[in-house]
Every structure is written in structure tokens, then in C-alpha cells.
Amino acid sequence: MLTAVMAAVVGCIGIAVYGIVFGLFLQGIDRKFAARMQARVGPPIRQPFIDIGKLLCKDNVVPEGALGVVFNAAPLIALAASVTILLYLPVGSIMPLLGEWGDIVLIMYLLTVPALAMVAGGFASGSPYATVGSQREMVTMIAYEFPLAIAIIAIAWRLSVAGIADPFLISTIAQTSVWSIAGPFGWLGLLLLLLVLAWVTPAELSRVPCDTPEAETELAGGLLVEYSGRNLALFSLSAAVKTVAMATLAVVLFLPWNPSWYIAMAPTTAIVADALFFIIKVVLVVFFSVSVIRVMMARLRINHLVTLYWKYLGIVGLAGLVLIVLDAMLGMGVVA
Amino acid sequence: MSDSKPSYNIPIGPIHPALKEPILFTFKINGEVVEDLDFAPGKVHRGIEWMGMRRNPVQIAHLCDRICGICGVSHTLAFCRAVEQIAEIEVPERAHYVRTIVAELERIQSHLLWAGVAAHELGFDTLFHLAWRVREDAMDLLELITGNRVNYGIVQVGGVRRDITEDQFPKVEKTLAAYEDITKKLLKLFLEDTSIKVRCRDTGLMTRKQALELCTVGPTARASGLEMDVRLDAPYAAYGDLDFTMVLPDQYAGEIRGDVYDRIVVRLLEVVQSMSIIRQCIDNMPPGVVMWEQKYAKILATCKKAEGEAFGRVEAPRGECFHFVRMNKSESPEAWKVKASTYSNQMSWLTMLKNEQIADIPIIVASIDPCMSCTDRVAVIGNGTSGILTKQDLHRLSVEKTRRIQGC
């Protein structure tokens, strides 16, 4: 019993360190990619680490009109929630630490917690900019949750139709390639859902074109406007960890392949090879759904954002779902 | 947004990432919609006119360069034209052409700078980086011709201080040729991009009638279909000899709506037009000197004898730039008044911003290409009373403050 608790504690700390380091590294890579695409030199890849280090040295200012408790608790909750998501997600072929206690629906809920914490922090800071930012963040959340839910549910449903036990468990999804189960119609549907998830990622991470809640030129940082020093560092870390979580989710759902599935190798080699391959997949996801999109777009107005996610991505997602249902009903691919 | 929601005030400025220069806006917002607004300029008043009225015209020409970091040539040109009229100084023909070339290069770099800022306000940083990189070529060319990237110091009462030599022409032509390709690309990127179209079409509307009633000038007026361009209405420098027409947004889009999109269209098309004007200038450049008189002492002596008043009008990149000068047989002018284009354009904000979304405030504010340091001319101190402090006053105040701090 004691060893189990110890293992859990060590595992949690390990995952937190992994999430923060890998997340900051991903942000550094994203900034470098974006800079190269904009014909700039860009900052060194370690720049996010330097930024966090600098923020931690700075004063932590709590504005006079702020609700101190909520204002200070929000960044902590955001970071804790982001790290918690990682406890339910695999790294390569290393299965999630708490995989048995939660499934993919829990991850969907956990993904909203950092955003909710930011909203609470924004409202608590008592600045009109932050208030507008918080309102926008809530609207954004409502907008992207629907397409995200469609993508996740469709995949889990297709697995269950194929007769796979516990289709909502992360370990099941991570160990089964949905592409090998679906037939031609299913593939088409999966491609549409992949597109939807690629567009949900920038909204989930508040990056251009969906950075309306922070909108530098409009709201001067929006819901983060009053944050400084340690609290801002915690929010930045939370964003970094969330980047890992979102990219991992995309990898688990759509790109679950591991080299050890195809090439026979020793167990330890397999873990390392799978982890390295996993990192490449995550970087690719970040490149396509964060860097490329943010380089090629202007910021959306909040009403355009809602239209895009509810209407266009909603329709694309539903089309994908219908194709997957058709695929199963027509008996294409694997059906139990 | 429902009407029952209470509206709240959002201050934007005096310092805000959306504003490139200090100015204070107060917005009354309902939900995300602007219900009412007010603005208070006057945050960067530097007393330049006051300084000018204590200097001679040759010195003021250099002061004019520093009214604005972007349209220095326009201010200097407007001032010099006013002084030249009063003192009846005839500018050599070649100097007119050099002035025109430099003024048009300034227009190119100013419009490209604006295009970059506009893209940044929309959150489109890739385009911002591209526009500013493209702008560097114009800056390099200006440096080649004038010796400076900003504050060119080339226009002077009686002509220009440097000639454009034959061996510089190939370099100018090379840059213009490069611009020909890049402007086509920029036009496509700015005007055919969906995310820009969605944000800029039908935002910040101003009808032709409103533009006329609000006395707007320059690209802001032309984007609303108001035919107004000092270069054509009252030609100065070499513009009378050149062949060009007014840029109106329907030349690209086929219609005039008077929105932010049309303002982008007008400015980008003017970049293309400026290149053709520079080409014409180079082809038709007459030989000769570029200064009415090489000796500054003689210029100063002529100015000192001059009496009368005149105004100089120049089409700056942002619109009409207006300088009024009165000289009364003394070393420095008796009166000097600068009216920059933003002064004429700023009232249009009230019309454009009403009932728009918060998200569109930055781009609409930027769409008239405001230049506050050109505009801010009046310092009102205290309850509506204004005053100018002399050196003695400032000294007295500083001594008093030191005593107060020391507590004696």
C-alpha cells in the first residue's frame, strides 16, 4: 500500500516536471517555427524557460480592486488542473499513471478547468479589460466544446461498435489505431474529425486566431492584464502544460502508432523508441495546429469565432460523425 | 447583446498596445458594442511652434523635420513653401523634382508602415513583419538620397540641400523594380485574405457626406469617395508637370463603401502610384542647381527683410498638411501655425467607432493613420487657462520645489 502511494507521488512529480519542461520546449519550438515562417530569426528555443525564470523574479502585484483569494488561487488551480490532465494521458507506450481511474470524458472536463480558472482570475482582478477578456473566454469555451466532444465521442463509439472492451479508456484508445478499425467511409470521417481537432487546438490554447480573450492590441492582455510575477508565471506554465495535453490528446486519438508495434525490440528500447517517436508526433501536431495556423491568420472577432466553431466546424464534425456511423452500419472495417 | 445590460466604461490610453502614440479614449461599452466615446488628445504636446517662433526660418526647417517621425518631408516642405512665398524666393526647377521624389518615397514608407501597423492591430503578425521588411527598401533608398533614414534634413528654404546624382538613378530604379513585384504580392495578401476581409469590410463606415462634413483629408477622405488631394487640387513642387490621377477605392473594388477595407485599398494603391510618380520625375528631371542661393546668410537676410503672411499646403501621406507663417521683418516668424492631417481627421473617429465592436476599435482608430505628435499643438493647463512658462518661471518653480523637498 505504502509503496503504491509512494509510486503515485513520485509519478505525479515526474509527470509535472515532464509536462512543464516539455511544454516550455514546445513553446520554444513553436516560436522558432513561427519566426522562421515570418522570415525572422526568432528567439532561442530556451527562451520560454528564460521568460519563466524572469517572471519568477518579478514582484507579484495584486491590484487594489481585486478579490485577493480568487486572484491568487486561479493560477495555482490552472496549473494543477493542467498537470492533472497529463496524469490521464500516455507518453509513447508508457500508459497513463491514473488510467484506470478516469477515461477520455474526464479529460474533456479537466481541459475546461484551466480555462475556468483563468475566467475566475480575470473576473477577480477587477479590471474592465480582464472582465471583457473573461466574458470572451467563456464564449470561446462554449464555442469549441461542441466540436471537440463530437470528435472524441465519434472515435470512442466506433471502437465500441468494433467490439472492443472499455472503448472510453485512454489505454484502450492509445493501444488501438482507429484507422485500422474503420473502413473507407470511416477514414473520410476521421479525416474530417482530425481537421476539427486541429482547429479546436488553437482555441483551447488561446492562440491566434482564437486569442480574442487576451487580444493584445484590443484588451492589452485581456484576462491576464492584471497578472504579474509569480502568478503570471504559473499561468504561463499552465498554458505550456496544456499545450502538451492537447497535442497528446490529438496523438492518442488520431496518431496512436508506436514503432514497437511493428519492429520487435527489447522492452526498454521499445519504451525509449516509442517516447522519441511520440515526441516527434507531438511536435508535428503543434507545428500544424498551432504554429501554421497562427502564422497564416488574423485574430477572429468573438462573433466570428462562435460562428466558425458552432456552425462550420460543428457541421464538419457532424459530417464526420455521420460518415463514421454509416461506416459501422454498412459493415465496413471491423464490426463486432 | 440585450439592452437591459448595464453599460460600463473602458479607458483606452493614454498608453495602450493598440495606440502607437499617447491619446486617451473613453469608451462606453454595452456588452461588446461601443455605445458612446470621447477622446482627449494633447498628451504629446512639445511646444514646437513656440520653439520655432524663437528661431530663424533655416533653423525651423530642421525643426519641422522633427514634428513627425514619419512625414518630416511634408512638414518641412509645407513650411518652406510658406516662407518662400512671403520672401518671394524662387525655387530652382530641379529642386522641385528632388522634393517630389523624396516626398513620394516618404509616402511609400509611411503607407507601408501603416499597412504593417494595421495588420498587427488585426492580430496578423506575419503580414506585419512582411510589410515592415518591405518598407526597409524604401528607407534604404531615402538614406541613399538624403543621408538619413528619418529626419531627412534635405528640404530647405530655397530648394534642397542635396541633389540626386545620375549614379544614384540605377539604384533607385532597382528598388522600384523590386517594389513592383512586392506590391502586387502585398495587394493580394491584404485585399484577398479572408480573415482581413471579414474584419475590415463594413467596419468603421464613413459616408462621403460625413467625410465632407467632418472636413476629413487625405486617404481617409478618398476612401469615402471624397475627391480631395492637394497634389492635384493645388499642385506644388513638380506635381503640376506629372501625369497621375486621384486614387479612389472603386479602382480596385469597383465600389466605394468608406470602410476600413477601402482605406487599405487607397493606401496600397497609392504606393503603386508613388512609384510611377518617382519614375516620371527621374525621366523628366531638368538639369541645373538645386538651391536658390548657396549662401545661407543671403537666404537669412532675404527672410529677415520679408513681410507678409502665407500658407503652405502639402499632401502628406496622411492627408493635407497645412503651415501658416507670418513674417514681420524680423529674424524669426511672427506667427507659425501647423495643422497636421490628423487634426482634420480625428473627429471622424466619433462617427466611425459608434456601434462598432470592441474588437474593431484598434483597427478603426488606426485606419485614419493617426499621428498624435503632429497634431498636439495646444497645451491647456488647469481649468481652461493656458499659459507659457518662461525660463525664469521654470527656474523659480524648480528652486521652490527643491526648497519644499528639503523642508526649509
Task: Quick: pLDDT tens for B276-303.
Answer: 999 898 888 888 888 888 888 888 888 8
Q: Strand, helix or coil at B85?
A: helix
Contact A225, A267 (CB under 8 A): no
For chain A, percent of residues with pLDDT exceeding 70: 97
Nearest CB among B10, B32, B123 relative to A299 is that of B123
**pLDDT, average across residues B64-91:** 88
State what percent of residues in chain B have pLDDT above 90: 7
Bridge-partner residues for B38, per DSSP?
B26
Q: Answer yes or no: do B130 and A212 touch at CB < 8 A.
A: no
| CA–CA distance, B217 with B67 (Å, rounded to integer) | 19
- pLDDT (0 to 100) of residue A29: 92
Within 8 A of B135 by CB-CB distance, chain A residues are none
Secondary structure of residue B286 in the 3-state scheme:
coil
A vs B: CB pairs below 8 A: 79
B207-218, pLDDT tens digit by residue? Answer: 888 888 888 888
- Chain B nearest-CA residue for A209: B123
| Listed residue (A286, A274, A278, A214) closest to A246, CA to CA | A286
Q: What is the pLDDT of residue A75?
A: 92
Mean pLDDT calculated for residue range B164-179: 87
Determine how many CB atoms are found less than 10 A away from the CB of residue A175: 16
CB nearest B195 (choices: A131, A209, A215): A209
Q: Which ranges of B192-283 does DSSP label H, i.e. alpha helix?
A: 194-200, 208-213, 218-223, 230-233, 250-253, 260-283
pLDDT tens digits, A107-137: 888 888 998 998 998 888 888 888 888 888 8
- The CA distance from A20 to A79, in Å, is 10
Q: Name every chain B residue with its beta carbon within 8 A of the beta carbon of A301.
A: 198-199, 357, 359-360
Q: Do B130 and A40 touch (CB under 8 A)?
A: no
This complex has an ipTM of: 0.73
At residue A64, does pLDDT exceed 50? yes
* C-beta atoms of A298 and B362 within 8 A: no
Distance between CA atoms of residues B203 and B260, nearest Å: 6
Average pLDDT on A156-181 reads 81
A159 three-class SS: helix
Q: Quick one: what percent of chain A has pLDDT higher than 90?
A: 19
User: Are A333 and A178 a contacting pair, CB within 8 Å?
Assistant: no
Q: Is A156 helix (H, G, I), strand (E, B) or coil?
A: helix
- Residue B151: phi and psi, rounded to 5, are 50, 65
Q: Which CATH class for the B48-375 domain? A: mainly alpha
- What are the φ and ψ backbone dihedral angles of A57, each rounded to 5 degrees? -80, -15
Mutate which of B30, B121, B125 to test chain A, going by most A C-beta atoms within 10 A? Answer: B125
Separation CA B143–CA B154 (nearest Å): 11
CB B146 within 8 A of CB B102: yes
Give the chain B residue nearest A220 (alpha carbons). B17
CA distance A159 to chain B (A): 38
Tell me the average pLDDT of chain A.
85
Q: Give chain B positions within 8 Å (CB) of A219.
A: 358
Chain B residue nearest residue A296, CA to CA: B126
Instruction: Suggest the residue from A219, A290, A306 to mutate for an interface test with chain B (most B CBs closer than 10 A).
Output: A219
Q: Is the pLDDT confidence value at B51 over 50?
A: yes
Model pLDDT, residue A202:
86
Q: Does the structure show a pLDDT above 60 at B3?
A: no
For residue B9, the chain A residues in CB contact (below 8 A) are: 128
Phi (first) and psi of residue B10, to 5 degrees:
-120, 120
Lowest mean pLDDT among A49-63, A90-104, A299-313, B256-270: A90-104
pLDDT confidence of residue B2: 46
Q: Which of A163, A148, A65, A110 is nearest to A320 (CA)?
A: A148
Q: Which residues of A touch B122 (CB under 8 A)?
A: 298-299
**Residue for cell digits 513553446?**
A27
Which of helix, strand or coil describes residue A139? helix
Query: Distances in Å between the alpha carbon of A158 and those of A89, A102, A107, A141, A175?
Result: 20, 20, 19, 26, 14
pLDDT greater than 90 at residue A158: no
Residue A121 makes CB contacts below 8 A (sequence gap 6+) with A70, A71, A74, A75, A78, A130, A223, A227, A231, A235
B122 touching A (Cβ < 8 Å)? yes
Q: What is the mean pLDDT of residues A250-275?
A: 84
Chain B interface includes A303 (CB < 8 A): yes
Average pLDDT over residues A178-189: 83
Closest CA to B154 of B110, B99, B117: B99
Give the pLDDT score at B380: 44
Tell me: pLDDT of A227 over 60.
Answer: yes
User: According to the model, what pLDDT value does residue B381 have?
Assistant: 54
SS3 readout for A250-271 = HHHHHCCCCHHHHCCCCHHHHH
Q: Which pLDDT does position A137 carry in this prediction?
A: 87
Mutate to test the interface with A, among B2, B8, B12, B32 (most CBs of A within 10 A): B32
A299 contact B CB<8A: yes
Closest Cα of chain B to A220: distance in Å?
6
Cell numbers at residue B217, please? 483629408
How many angstroms separate the CA atoms of A66 and A1, rounded? 44
Among A129, A208, A217, the residue with its CB nearest the CB of B362 is A217
Please give, rounded to a whole number of angstroms, the shortest distance from the CA of B124 to a CA of chain A: 4
> Which of B188, B195, B364, B367 has the most A C-beta neighbours within 10 Å, making it the best mutation to test the interface with A?
B195
- Cα–Cα dist A173/A104, whole Å: 9
What is the pLDDT at residue B378?
47
Of B127, B193, B359, the CB nearest to A212: B359
Q: Which amino acid is at B173?
A: E
- Give burial (CB, 10 Å; 0-12/13-18/19+) of A158: buried
Residue B226 vs residue B388, higher pLDDT = B226
The model's pLDDT over B368-408, given as tens digits with 9 standing for 90+, comes to 888 776 666 544 455 555 555 566 777 788 888 888 878 76
